[in-house]
Amino acid sequence: RVEPGAGVEGRLDGRSWRLGKQAWACGLHSPGKDDDHGIWLGDGQRGWARFELQDALRDDAADALARLRALGLRIEILSGDAAQAVEATASELGVSLWHARQSPEDKLAWVRQRQFEGHRVAMLGDGINDAPVLAGANVSIALGGGASMAHRAADLVLTADSLLRVPELFALARRTRRIIRENLAWALAYNLLALPFTAMGWVTPWMAALGMACSSLLVTLNALRLSRAIWQAPAPTNKDSR
């Protein structure tokens, strides 16, 4: 059983075990103050073991965030980890806005508040705890290697194992919107010019058919511009191993 924001619980040899946050896993007999850095194994009444895990940043994380900022997006980090760990990660990534000790409910409340202020929020996540906020965001993106619950809640799932796909996605979306507007503007202008001439009988049927075919071809060719690459991931550099 998954307890959102706390951990997982299961039974072994008729006994219930919890793995997750100290206060939840160890219960009332939690040794000392709540431990944000460790993962505890307990039976709900006392702790039996403590594990400490360290997450390494992905190699492409800083580059992906830099490209998102270049697109004019404001980046914020919402994490359930302790403030010290989140601050260190944000500093390494160059992110000035971060929020620590965020439960799934806190993350969703943050999204609701930003939406109430008139912002459109895009969320990127991969964990079970991210499912509620992914479902509540205007646009949500889940990583392909993440939890299945996050996949079901997200609008998009990245199948490629690269965060650089995220800024490419936003750039492609903006480019698609621009081309759609161009095609609509061309269609409107064409009809505004062609209809009066057709009504006055100056355009014969074969001329109208040819004009429509050329107009459709122009719209199609304009849309094919989307097939061009927006960004190429930087080529790996050969580092001296000595």
Structural tokens at position 113:
């508040």
The reply to whether 29 and 40 lie within a common domain is yes
Pick the closest to residue 225 from 187, 182, 190 (CA basis): 182
Domain end marker among 144, 166, 188: 166
Strands 122-125 and 97-99: unpaired
In a domain, 125, yes or no: yes
Question: pLDDT tens across 213-225, in order?
Answer: 888 888 888 888 8
The reply to whether 126 and 213 lie within a common domain is no
The reply to whether 70 and 48 lie within a common domain is no
The reply to whether 178 and 223 lie within a common domain is yes
User: Residue 60: exposed, middle, or buried by beta-carbon count in 10 A (0-12, 13-18, 19+)?
Assistant: middle
In a domain, 242, yes or no: no
Sequence-distant (6+) residues with CB within 8 A of 45 are: 26, 27, 28, 29
What residue spans of 137-204 are helical by DSSP H?
Answer: 148-153, 165-199
The reply to whether 131 and 76 lie within a common domain is yes
In a domain, 237, yes or no: no
In the prediction, which pLDDT does 129 show?
A: 83
In the prediction, which pLDDT does 200 show?
A: 79
- Mean pLDDT score of the chain, rounded to an integer? 83
Whole-prediction pTM: 0.69
The reply to whether 220 and 150 lie within a common domain is no
How many structural domains does the chain have?
3
Q: Residue type for 206, please?
A: W
As a whole number, mean pLDDT of residues 4-10 equals 80
The reply to whether 67 and 158 lie within a common domain is yes
Look up the CATH number of the domain holding residue 74: 3.40.50.1000
**Per-residue confidence band for 67, with pLDDT thresholds at 50, 70 and 90:** very high
